[in-house]
Structure formats: structure tokens, C-alpha cells
A and B are shown apart, each in its own frame.
Chain A
Amino acid sequence: MSVLKARYFDGQRSIGHDVSVVLGGGSLKIVGQDIDLLFNPHRVRVAPRVADAPRWIYLPGGGACVLEDNDAVDALSRGSRFAPFLHRLESRPAWAALALLLVVASLWVLIDRGVPFAAEQVALRIPPAAENDLGRHTLASLDRFYMQPSQLSAPRQKMLTEEFNALAASAPDLPPHRLIFRSSPRIGPNAFALPGGTIVITDQLVTLAQSDQQVMAVLAHELGHLAHRHAMRSLLQGSATALIIAGVTGDVTSTTSLAASAPVVLLHAKYSRDFEREADRYGIELLRKDNISPRNFALILERLEAANKGRGSVPGFLASHPPTKEREALVREADGH
């Protein structure tokens, strides 16, 4: 027989009664001034304990009791084993510290492995044609603001297109693709793969390259972006990370959420570098298949870097790329085979 102090509310009127809760003999009694109630303990629902917040007991018929002595309630209610375990985790500083470490670790695993893996799995199941609309829009706005028709002669364009087709013919897992030429003094020497399979190369890049093989080295890298579905994966990863960050910082006022946009930008740069590395490896593999020395890739990278020095941030080929030294090491390794 145990007796606990409590406040009782009948659920009908906003009046609190000081009562005693008496548990024993297979029944739960609530006794106070003008109150004498008897309940079957199995039909009484005890709220889960959260730290030391007042504990509610919900009675059949809509009444409720609130008790301040959580430990005594715990001793009385033999509920699931999970609830006391949860409370132990939530109340001890050592567990809080461990949880904190695990939060950081699981965030890292989720962002470094989980999100890219899930995005890749989903992207590979979405037909490439789904990206066509997006690619058309991007190309239209680039054409309006940044690019003019190519100044290269038709035979020169035809020659490069044929070399590109020969390169792509030996490429594995390629979605539909096409090569188009544009002139853009504003963008400068550059090439980029648009969603939907269009690869744009600027006249300035063709002029900068010392050989067609160097042009092919850049295009092989861009084919890597297409084969690995980087445009779609980038979209998916962006949505997923936004959801994670919203979840972690969820209960903050809107002034603090301004600060929450910083990690999104950092994560985007990280994912973007990962994609560049993947495209580099694919491109080098493709060049070797086509009997073009990967050294051409290193040479054109050097020239691009020199040409783009002093230019502001450039979209596409050089944007958020891995350090050039690292890429050259990759080329040397490939060449060593």
C-alpha cells in the first residue's frame, strides 16, 4: 500500500483538488475532501516521464491527476522497460555528453555517406529525360545573358563533334547526350554539362587548348558528370541536407535560422568537390580507353588555371574544384599504369 500526494482534476471543471492517490489491493483510490474514487489500475494511463516535469496520470472517464514526485510514480507504475531507460538517458550528464558525441558522429555519417548514397540510388532510378526541362531553361538563360553563337567554322565544329562522338562511344553508362558550341568572352574558356545531357563548350576553351586531345580531355570529364547523374544528385542532396538542417535546428526562432543557412552553403561546396573528383576519375578512365594520354588533362588544367586567374568566380568547369595539385597527382597515377 502506497500513498502519494496529488492534484486531481475531473476534466469537466477547472477546479483542482488536493488528494491522496492510494495504490494497493488491486485498485487505485483517489481520496480527498468530497472525493472518493476507485479505479482499476490497468485502465489508468501514466504519462511518460520527461526529466522532472510534473507527471500526469490519465483516468478512465476523462479525469486526471498530476503528481510532483516522479520517482515515486516510477516505483509504482511497472510500465514498459523502455520508458525508464529513456529517462535515465535524458537525465544523466554523462549520457548527454555521449549523446552529443554520437549526434556529431551520426550527422557526419549521414552527410558524408548517407545522403550521397541515397541520392545516387534515387537518381539512377529517375529517367534522364526528367532533367530535360531544367537543362533547356538553364541553356536559355545562359544564352540570353552570357553566351553568343559560336564563331568556329562549321567544318571545325563537325570535326570536334565527331571526335567527341568517338570518345562517347567507348563510354560506359551514358544517358543521351549532345555537344554544342558557344562563344562567351564573359565566361571565358570553359565547358559544362547541363542537366538533360547537353555539354556546352566555349570557343575560348577550343582556342586555349593546344590540341584536340586536350579538348577531349575536358569533354571526357564532363561526360563523367553526365554518367554519374551529378545534376540530379546535386538537387536531391540539396533537398536532403536542407531537411536535416531544418530538423536539427527546428525549434529555434526565425532570427537564429538566418545562421542555419551557412552550413547549407558549406555542404554544397563539399558535395560539389566530391562530384568533380568522381568526374575526374571517370574522364581519365575514358581517355585511356580511347588511347588519349591522361597527361592532356593535366596540361589543359594548368592552362585553364592560368587563364582564369584574376577572373571572378566562374560557373562550371573550375567552380569548387578540388585543388589542382590533387588532380595532377591523379593524372600522374593514371599515367603510371
Chain B
Amino acid sequence: MAEGESASPARTLRPEFTGSGGEYFRVWVVNLLFSLVTLGIYSAWAKVRKKKYLYGNTRLDGDSFDYFARPETILKGRIIAVAVLLVYALAGELHPESRFAFWALAALAAPWVIVRSLLFNARNSAWRGLRFHFNGTAGGAARVFLGLTAVTVVTLGLGYPWFAARRRRYVLGNHALGTSRFACELPTASFYWLYLRALLMWIGLLVPLGFLAYLTVFSPLSRAAIAPAVFAFAPVIGGYAAYAVVYGYLQARTANLMWNSTYGPGLRFHSDLRARKLIGIYIGNVLAAVASAGLLIPWAVVRTLKYRLSCLAVIVEQEMVHEADPAFARVGATGQELGDFFNLDLGI
């Protein structure tokens, strides 16, 4: 990478989303229809069109992002994924023991699948005409995803915050824009504090809910019909709400921690998501999606994206010109087809 002309004072760039929920709804519904009538085949094209819309309308420093994966490649990945899924579901039902063998195989394949999936997405995304890249190796993914999962299990969950931190560091720290690599130095201790607070929050919410459940379902009060039967649903709905609260809190705080410890050549990131706002958005999304039988999903997607982008900032401390990776073109010719074909697109 070449250095810029001058060391100007830091600039704060805020990405923004310039699309609209209504426009995205029209794209979404037509693509959903085509996916349904082609029995899922068109879904690969639909995925590219939807991502193209979302990426294209995301702008940073005046220039938009681009997503240009080939739908044919995604279709191949989807066919394989569906075949694997069906074999797993049917074999697992008919011969329950086969699930263990399947899980063992899936665990072995997972690091490779994760790397291929991130690599596929990165290579097919660009900003200012430069492709993103993912430098992680399957070995590195195995250490993080298999090794630390094992640690989490052995320590009865105590290792989980460590795993959560390392997982994000692995994903973000291996990304690059051209040759400009990002780095992520996550303080594991902050993750422990975060998860401890989430745990206390969860307990704090569950105790009154348990009491409510006791009152409405088991206690003599409920038998005396003082509490109408509708109240029996209150603990269930409360349980979902409590889940959304803790989930939204963790999402907001981990994203902040993650972005605030990520930097690249001449730049760093800053995120100030507010947990309360994100929880409100998540609960609103669920209510809207349920009440509209799924119709408001595109609106929910755009709303969430807009908020998340509005809280992210790129702080340019030194103007840099990012350059394309020359090794990149060479890889593209030979490895791409192989990698793309096995991109299982499992939504990791």
C-alpha cells in the first residue's frame, strides 16, 4: 500500500444506507415468487439480487459497495447443501445412530466450510472497485472453532466468552480490502464481564418470570380461577421477551467491543450501538413479522441494517490508498472454481 500525500487530521466516515424498505419489499416479493415457482432454483439469483440491492445502497465516503457473486456458483452450493441436509434429516430419523457419525463428519468439515464461506463472500464483495479478501486458513478455523468449542465443553461453559472473543477476532482479523489487512485485538477480559452481566440479567429476568409462572399455572390462586387462562401464556411471552432482551444486549455490546478493537492501515473502526435501541428493534421486528405473516420481513431487514450502519464509523487517521492483491488474480483462475463449488452457503 502506498502512503497518502499528507497526514491530515482524522476524518470520521459514517456508512449510510440509501435504499428504502418499500423498494426492497418490491424486489424481495418478486424474487420470492420466482424462487417458489421454480422450486427454489431461482433462489440463487434472488440471493444475488437482494445482496446487490443492499450492498449497492450502502455507501462509505461517497462510494457504494458492490456484490457480484455468480448465481450459478451459489446454485451449485445450494444443491449440495440441500442434498446433505436431506440425507442428514432422513438418515437421522430412520437410523438414529447415524446422527453421531454425521455430527463427527460435520465437525471435521466445519473449519473448512467456514473458511470457504467467508472467502466466497469476501471475494465477491468490493468497495471502490477493490475486492475484499479473507486470509484465514482451515487450520486456524479448526483451532478456534473446534479447539475452543472443546474447551468450552470441558470447562462447562466457563470458556465460552473466550471462544466468543476469539471467534470474532478470527473472522474480522483475517479480512482484508485488497492487500490492506484488518487486525482485531479483542480484550478477552471485557468479554467475560459482558457475559457475566448478561448472565445476571438473564437470572434477574427469569426469577420474576418463574414466580409469574408459578402464580398463573401451579398456585392455588390459578386454580381458584382468579387468574384467567389467558394469563397462562404470560410466562411464555415473557420468556421470549427476556430472551430478546438478553440477545439484543449481547449483540449490541459484542458488536461495539469487536469494532472498537478493529483497525486497518491508517484507519480504525468505532461502533456505538445502544443495547436498548437494538432490543427495541429486534422485538419490533418479531412482532411485525408475526403480525404481517412475514410480509414485513424486508422492512425489518432494512430497518436493522440502517440502525447498525448508523452506529458504525470508520475513522481515517491517515489517508491511504488501498491496493489490489496481485496474488489474487492468480488464485482466482485455479482455486476459485474448487472453492466456489464447495461453498456450502450454510449461512454462517
Contacts and interface: CB of A to CB of B under 8 A. Distances in A.
A106 B33 contact: yes
Interface stretch (B113-121, B212-220, B284-292): B284-292
Contacts of B82: 243
B286 A255 contact: yes
B244 A11 contact: no
A235 B95 CA distance: 13
B94 A51 contact: no
B72 interface: no
Given A51-B23, A239-B86, A137 B63 contact: no
A238 B86 CA distance: 11
A53 B52 contact: yes
B145 to A, nearest CB: 18
Nearest to B93: A235
Interface in A1-46: 7, 9-16
Nearest to A110: B36
Q: Binding site of B, secondary structure by majority: helix, strand, loop or mixed? A: helix
Interface string A79-98: 00000001001111101100
The interface centre, meaning the residue of A53, A92, A239 with most chain B CB atoms within 10 A of its CB, is: A53
Nearest to A100: B29
A7 B49 contact: no
Contacts of A16: 62-63, 128-129
A249 interface: yes
Interface string B126-141: 1111100000000000
Contact of B37 (A90, A106, A247, A251): A106
Contacts of B94: 130-131, 133-134, 195, 235
A303 B36 CA distance: 45
B81 to A, nearest CB: 10
A113 B23 CA distance: 32
B304 interface: yes
A236 interface: yes
Contact of A11 (B26, B130, B177): B130
Nearest to B62: A16
A66 interface: yes
Given A54-B64, A66-B64, A247-B43, A256 B297 contact: yes
Interface of B: 2, 19, 23-27, 29-33, 35-37, 40, 43, 49-50, 52-53, 55-57, 62-64, 66, 68, 82, 85-86, 89-90, 93-96, 126-130, 177-178, 240, 243-244, 247-248, 282-283, 285-286, 289-290, 294-295, 297, 300-301, 304, 321-324, 329, 347
